[in-house]
Every structure is written in C-alpha cells, then in structure tokens.
Amino acid sequence: MKFTIQKKSSQSKARLGTLTTNHSTFETPVFMPVGTKATVKTLSPEEIDAMEAKIILANTYHLFLRPGEDIVAQAGGLHKFMNYKGSILTDSGGFQVFSLSKLNKITDDGVVFREHIGGQYVNLTPEKSIEIQNKLGADIIMCFDECVSYDKDEKYTEKSLKRTHSWAKRCLEFHKNTENQALFGIVQGGMFKNLRKESAEYLASLDFPGYSIGGLSVGEPMDLMREILDFTTDYMPQEKPRYLMGVGSPLELVDGALSGVDMFDCVLPARLGRHGVLLTSAGRLNIKNRQFMTDFTTVDEECDCYTCKNYSRAYLNHLFRSQEMFGLRLNTIHNINFLLKLMKNLREAINNGTELEFRKKIAQVW
C-alpha cells in the first residue's frame, strides 16, 4: 500500500490524498461501501464499479462464520470469490463480537463468545483474527480490538485500552503477509481525551502502515463525537492514512474530513435504501409515503445515478409497496452513489479551499 498526501488545506485539517493497493488507486477522503458478507447488499460488483467505488469493506466476523475463511482461501481470496476487482478492506471482527454475539468472557488472551448464528462457543484471539484476514486476502486489514460503549467509566476504558494495545502488538507480530496486506492499528480510548492521546501515541510508536479510529458513532451525542475525533487526529501520524470506522451520514463525513480523516465506511446508505429511505440534496426522503404514489419526478434533480436517470418517485413507491426486490436495488444504487458523489464534491471543495462553505451547505440540510 502506498499513501501520498497531495494537498493540505489552509482552512481546516482536511487533506487530499491518493491511496494505492495491489487492486486499485483512489483519491481520499473516500467513502467505502460495505459488503458485509462479500456482497454489497442487492448490488453486483459491476454496479459498484460503475459508481466508481474503488474500495469496499467486508466483514471478518460474518465471513468467518459463513462460509469460513478456508473456503474463501480455496476460491483464491475475496477478490476472486466475489468477482470484485477493486480494493477490499476487512475489519477485525471486534465490533461484531461485542455487538452481535452473546459475550461470555474477555481476557487478555482474547474473547470467548457465543456466535449469533448457531450459538456455538468461539475463542477469538488477535492471532486468530489476523489468520482469518490473511486467508480472506483483503488489501487492508485491521487489528483485533475491544470496542467499549461510550458510557463506560474511565477505569474500565483504561483497562480495555491496555488490552487493545497489547492485542495490537500481537497482531503486528503475527501478521506476515506485509507485501500484500496493510495492517492498520485502531485508536480507542472511549470519550476520554487523555486515553485517546495515549492510544494514538502508542500505536504511532508501533509504526503501522495506517491507523483507524474506533469507538465513535456508538451512541454518543454528535457534538461529543466531533470533539473527540477532532482532538484525536492531532496525535495521529500526519503521513499515514486515517480511517474513521462506521461513520456515514453526510454531515459526519464532511466533519470527519475536516478533522483530517481520509477513509470512511458505513452500512447506512444500503440499510436506509432497504427500508425505503433515500438520501437527497434536500435531505431524507421516505419513498414509502403516500404522497409519492403519483409523483412522477426523479428522486433528486441534482443526481445523475442510474436510478435518478431512469425512474420516478412514483415507480419506486410502487416497487416498495409491492415488496419488489428491484426497488431495494434502485434505492441502494441511489444512496451509495449519493455518498460517493458527496465525497467527490468535498474533495473538489478542499482543493479549491472552500470546504468550510461546503460544510455550511451540508449542515443546512443535514
């Protein structure tokens, strides 16, 4: 992996960069669509490619459970398994362990939990997480970490942070496929600035190829998230890519970029689409509403995606009410395209030095 900063803003902490892996080159700040189980729900790899999305995310926890990392490895890795030619990032599975499974025991060695599909007990360690990700074959992989809820007290959060740091070192030592896979460390520390600073500085000392910011957008107020994020990036290496995990609303993306973040991912656009909610230049639009039954205008006049160029609000309303799968596909195409275009426009604003004005326009809607 190679990351180059092309320009730094004089108006904010935002920067423009270029990131290259074995499978693609893309500009940052970038939004990564989520393909949890080796698929972006309802969409084909060709449709993702048509949107010029050159990197997506897949989920280690889910692929570990089904079909299993060994089967993916036998297929030749994730890229061949899902026929996707762009870059792929896999998370460590840590967040899903703590959010989806029935957690039994956290120790310094790892986590013993009951997985959510068959209820089997699983022991996931930092080494096991890296082994799984090595077999999946993504271009960028993550350290195994403990993601604590935002309301945990400082005593527990500090104990958790020590464990995450120990796990990060073990991940780094176990990871051998460094020529093909870039391993990112994950900054934790909850809502405590002293712990965030400690985490950022410790992980920087380990010299990872890139760094993630975890434990944000987990239920805390947005103002608090902005404050902690903006503080944290001050202590992260300037020359390495920074990835804010699980953030994808329009205003959060812009604020993250203005705080110096380069990469983002979130299930939000696809999940909203499957529930009939569309992201538009005028805000959220619930296509299920009765008022759209005879609305033959396009979803968003400012959008040039496949959905907006070819179909009306009335048709999407009909598809959703009729429970037709094509409607979910069209909604998802639009929502992901909306965020990809938002990031493209944001990069242009950063390049022109007008990102603060751009942020003001987004904030008025979102």
Q: How many CB atoms lie within 10 A of CB 318?
A: 15
Q: What is the pLDDT of residue 336?
A: 98
Judged against a pLDDT cut of 70, whether residue 5 lies above it is answered with yes
User: Mind telling me the catalytic residues?
Assistant: 91, 265
Q: What is the pLDDT of residue 115?
A: 85
Contact between 335 and 318 under an 8 Å Cβ cutoff? The reply is no
Q: Which DSSP string do the residues of 337-365 spell out, in sequence order? A: HHHHHHHHHHHHHHHHT-HHHHHHHHHHH
d(CA 299, CA 279): 9
- Token pair, residue 308, equals 């907006």
Contact between 249 and 268 under an 8 Å Cβ cutoff? The reply is yes
Geometric angle at alpha carbon 182, from 176 and 184, rounded to 5°: 105
Contact between 18 and 3 under an 8 Å Cβ cutoff? The reply is yes
User: How would residue 102 be classed by pLDDT, with cut points 50, 70 and 90?
Assistant: low
Contact between 137 and 79 under an 8 Å Cβ cutoff? The reply is yes
Q: What is the pLDDT of residue 60?
A: 95
One-letter amino acid at 47 equals E
Q: What does the domain layout of the chain look like in residue ranges? A: 2-97+125-266, 268-366
CATH dotted code for 2-97+125-266: 3.20.20.105
Contact between 186 and 210 under an 8 Å Cβ cutoff? The reply is no
If you average pLDDT over residues 309-319, what whole number do you get? Answer: 98
Q: Which DSSP string do the residues of 87-110 spell out, in sequence order? A: EEEE--SHHHHHHTSEEEEE-SS-
Percent of the chain past pLDDT 70, that is, above it, reads: 99
Tens of pLDDT, residue by residue over 147-190, are 998 999 999 999 999 999 999 999 999 999 999 999 999 999 99
pTM across the whole model: 0.97
Tens of pLDDT, residue by residue over 181-229, are 999 999 999 999 999 999 999 999 999 999 999 999 999 999 999 999 9
For the ranges 100-109, 139-148, 169-178, 254-263, the lowest mean pLDDT is seen at 100-109
Average pLDDT for the chain: 96
Judged against a pLDDT cut of 70, whether residue 290 lies above it is answered with yes
Tens of pLDDT, residue by residue over 257-271, are 999 999 999 999 999
Q: What are phi and psi of 222, to 5 degrees?
A: -60, -40
DSSP code of residue 219: S
Judged against a pLDDT cut of 90, whether residue 120 lies above it is answered with no
Q: What is the pLDDT of residue 97?
A: 76
Geometric angle at alpha carbon 248, from 246 and 249, rounded to 5°: 135
CA 7 to chain centre: 23
